[in-house]
């Protein structure tokens, strides 16, 4: 029985939030500014539907953009309504994966298909190009994969493009490889992430009975972070909407920062117009959450001032609930070294003098390449830090090994997984043997696994290898039988025993970082056990699909360290103390954005807005005046500083650290010297030559040791005199 009116919404929500939660309109658009309680509104909206409007949880479809957000909302709802045990609340890719497993017969795929991540996709494409005579390291492979991804983002499968001829010959080549890529995935019963959406759309478009069933099932569809939705995703949602379906979307167009991967903020901006394509009389109730509970007034004032320069937006100003707070600190350093050192020393000072914890700090930047000097200085100042945006848990080699074993247990068509682990641990089955298996399996018209299981005797290889392969297949078949007959769903123990049998942990011990890798696998096994304790109705395949769809590295976990991440990674997070590093013209906004004129600048401005609104209490913004070898000029502060109302101290004409030690190096801006990268032709050095080093700054050659080695006395006394390789890429020669 559903719970009714168990809470007093008036006491739990502010006026804006209450209106958003209790609206009875069929189509509702909630513009939720940063820190305005977006997750709270979504949570209570679901609770309100169930408790006050008598909507069954199974009739609610909630779409989020991260697994973390889905988990958080689900947990919050269950805390409010303990009797609610199930809701369709997940990322759109997770929901599509589940939909396809329920309706697999419509796309001629087995129920337990494999989902390929980016690394798997690349490997498939490499195999295709190699078979066509290319080198597996050729740049064109990634270009082709990106092109295919772009077409899929447009909603175009190969069959939609078949017969198309492009003026660009390379595009015609890519189209041919799109066909081969599609065939390769079909053959191995595999789908990539884009396919999950496209195949779902394919079924809903072509089978009216299926579409009608799901339209009837989901009377309410709620979408989080709606500003980041792309055309294909919105079309899918439209297919799920019947005439009586209620659509409830929450987002902030001012935080649209993923247009480079297809996000279209006009879908949200023009929602009424877009819904009227299907329902001409549709009316959208637009509600705005302006009260900000996160940041101080000074921080919000700058954020509001900055974003007001964008034209393509719904006008709103965030109103601070918190006090005025500290003024925003701006530091215009002479060099990248000095800027990074300022951040490291400031953090240490605040920790020492104010008892701040390192975990309350985050350093945000536009691009990952900026971290090199930052990491150097944090290490020098002994500041503990963690760099986010590295390899995801489920993409680590040892985890993918185990998942490949698990995939083969449910999908014998998965050649990609078999090829990955047929010689892991070592079974003396090398690339030549694998190629032989591939060739003969193809001649038999079978996948590699099926061929090895049914026709191993036909394989012309040494008997020792045949025995190793037979043992490998028997191991998998035996494990599969145990999985299928496991009444208590002790799948974690079964996988553990399989790994023990093949001595996988002994194998990892011999690998680099072996202990860490073993811990990762043990963590995976523990995760399997917990998953089936919490999901008693789930099947073995459900865990594997869930694991494949995870995006763990984007989810920042707590710890006693400073968090380093791009602004994109920081989306949805907040910290007491935030540093925005490298706030220079050509960096933030990027040169690429500057070339795109208005559209590019507006996207970068939204990104800067997101960066500023991550800060609760203290915000530090820094830039430097060093020479940029990318731009070929000295750096200037970002235009966004002025737009945000942040006063920039007067720039010096001589902007390099070099000036502190050698006033004769640059006399006037029009007398600037030419800087030559050593990797581009500097073949000789003489005593007295001037140079600059990416890490150590400016210096002078004090001794030529050989035709390769030079001794350099650096202007910064911290680095002193060093012996270096004269042709090293980090060294740039300064000549008249």
**Active site includes 215?**
no
Identify the bridge partners of residue 114 per DSSP, sorted by sequence position: 190
**Active site includes 39?**
yes
Name the residue with tokens 């799948």. Answer: 491
What span, in angstroms and rounded, lies between the C-alpha atoms of 634 and 673?
12
Q: By the 8 A CB rule, do 107 and 202 touch? A: yes
Question: Does a cis peptide bond (omega within 30 degrees of 0) precede residue 560?
Answer: no
**Active-site residue (options: 117, 192, 225, 603):** 225
**Active-site residue (options: 16, 224, 415, 555):** 224
Name 41's Cβ contacts closer than 8 Å, sequence gap at least 6.
13, 17, 20, 21, 30, 32, 250, 289
Name 447's Cβ contacts closer than 8 Å, sequence gap at least 6.
187, 188, 412, 413, 414, 415, 418, 441
**Active-site residue (options: 91, 121, 255, 613):** 255
581: left (phi over 0), alpha (psi -120 to 50) or beta: beta
Torsion angle of C-alpha atoms 360, 365, 370, 375, degrees rounded to 10: 0
**Active site includes 614?**
yes
**Active site includes 38?**
yes
**Active-site residue (options: 19, 22, 39, 478):** 39
What span, in angstroms and rounded, lies between the C-alpha atoms of 318 and 334?
34
Name the burial class of residue 314, with classes exposed (0-12), middle (13-18) and buried (19+) by CB atoms within 10 angstroms of its CB.
middle
Question: Does a cis peptide bond (omega within 30 degrees of 0) precede residue 425?
Answer: yes
User: Could you give the C-alpha distances from 584 to 324, 344, 399, 593, 596, in angstroms and in order?
Assistant: 27, 19, 39, 13, 17
**Residues 236-268 as b or e (16 or more Cβ within 10 Å = b):** bbbbbbbeebbbbbbbbbbbbbbbeebbbbebb
Of residues 254, 196, 253, the one with CA closest to residue 226: 253
**Active-site residue (options: 199, 316, 396, 614):** 614
| Catalytically annotated residues | 38-39, 224-225, 255, 614
């Amino acid at each position: 029985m559903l719970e009714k009116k168990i809470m007093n919404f008036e006491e739990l929500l502010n006026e804006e939030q209450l209106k958003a939660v209790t609206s009875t309109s069929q189509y509702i658009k909630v513009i939720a500014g940063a820190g305005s309680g977006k997750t709270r509104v979504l949570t209570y909206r679901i609770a309100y539907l169930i408790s006050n409007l008598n909507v069954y949880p199974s009739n609610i479809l909630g779409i989020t953009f991260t697994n973390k957000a889905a988990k958080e909302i689900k947990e919050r709802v269950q805390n409010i309504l303990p009797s609610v045990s199930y809701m369709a609340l997940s990322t759109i890719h997770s929901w599509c994966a589940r939909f396809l497993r329920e309706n697999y017969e419509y796309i001629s795929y087995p129920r337990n298909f494999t989902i390929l991540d980016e690394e798997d996709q690349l490997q498939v494409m490499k195999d295709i190009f190699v078979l066509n005579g290319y080198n597996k390291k050729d740049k064109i492979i990634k270009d082709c994969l990106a092109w295919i991804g772009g077409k899929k983002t447009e909603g175009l499968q190969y069959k939609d493009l078949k017969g198309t001829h492009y003026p660009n010959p390379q595009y015609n080549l890519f189209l041919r490889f799109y066909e081969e890529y599609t065939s390769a995935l079909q053959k191995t019963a595999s789908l990539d992430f884009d396919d999950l959406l496209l195949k779902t759309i394919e079924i809903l478009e072509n089978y009216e009975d299926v579409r009608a069933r799901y339209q009837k099932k989901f009377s309410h569809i709620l979408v989080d972070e709606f500003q980041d939705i792309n055309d294909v995703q919105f079309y899918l949602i439209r297919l799920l909407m019947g005439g009586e379906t209620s659509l409830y979307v929450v987002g902030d167009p001012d935080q649209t920062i993923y247009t480079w991967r297809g996000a279209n903020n006009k879908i949200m901006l023009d929602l009424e117009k877009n819904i009227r394509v299907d329902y001409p009389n549709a009316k959208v109730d637009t509600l705005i959450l302006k009260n900000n509970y996160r940041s101080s007034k000074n921080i919000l004032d700058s954020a509001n001032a900055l974003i007001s320069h964008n034209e393509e937006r719904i006008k709103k100003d965030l109103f601070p609930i918190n006090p005025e707070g500290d003024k925003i600190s701006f530091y215009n350093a002479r060099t990248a070294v000095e800027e990074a050192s300022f951040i490291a020393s400031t953090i240490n000072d605040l920790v020492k003098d104010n008892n701040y914890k390192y975990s309350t700090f985050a350093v945000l930047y536009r691009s990952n390449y900026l971290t090199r000097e930052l990491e150097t200085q944090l290490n020098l100042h002994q500041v503990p830090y963690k760099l986010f945006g590295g390899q995801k848990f489920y993409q680590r080699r040892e985890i993918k090994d185990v998942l490949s074993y698990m995939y083969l247990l449910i999908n014998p068509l998965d050649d990609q997984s078999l090829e990955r682990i047929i010689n892991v641990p070592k079974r003396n089955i090398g690339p030549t043997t694998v190629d032989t298996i591939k060739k003969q399996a193809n001649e038999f018209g079978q996948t590699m696994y099926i061929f090895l299981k049914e026709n191993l005797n036909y394989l012309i290889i040494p008997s020792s290898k045949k025995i190793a392969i037979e043992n490998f297949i028997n191991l998998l078949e035996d494990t599969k039988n145990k999985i299928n007959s496991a009444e208590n769903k002790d799948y974690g123990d079964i996988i553990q025993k399989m790994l023990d049998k093949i001595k996988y942990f002994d194998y990892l011990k011999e690998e680099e970082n072996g202990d860490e890798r073993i811990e990762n696998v043990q963590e995976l096994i523990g995760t399997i056990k917990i998953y089936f304790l919490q999901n008693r109705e789930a099947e073995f395949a459900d865990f594997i699909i869930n694991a494949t769809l995870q995006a763990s590295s984007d989810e920042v976990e707590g710890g006693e360290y400073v968090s380093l991440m791009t602004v994109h990674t920081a989306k949805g997070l907040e910290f007491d103390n935030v540093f925005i590093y490298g706030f220079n013209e050509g960096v933030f906004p990027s040169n690429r954005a500057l070339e795109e004129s208005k559209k590019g600048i507006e996207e970068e401005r939204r990104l800067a807005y997101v960066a500023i609104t991550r800060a609760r209490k203290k915000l530090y913004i820094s830039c430097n005046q060093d020479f940029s070898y990318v731009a070929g000029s000295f750096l200037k502060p970002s235009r966004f500083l002025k737009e945000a109302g942040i006063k920039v101290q007067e720039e010096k004409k001589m902007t390099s650290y070099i000036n502190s030690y050698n006033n004769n190096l640059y006399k006037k801006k029009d007398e600037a010297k030419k800087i030559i990268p050593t990797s581009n032709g500097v073949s000789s050095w003489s005593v007295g030559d001037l140079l600059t080093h990416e890490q150590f700054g400016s210096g002078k050659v004090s001794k030529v040791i050989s035709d390769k080695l030079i001794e350099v006395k650096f202007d910064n006394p911290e680095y002193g005199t060093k012996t270096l390789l004269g042709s090293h890429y980090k060294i740039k020669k300064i000549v008249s």
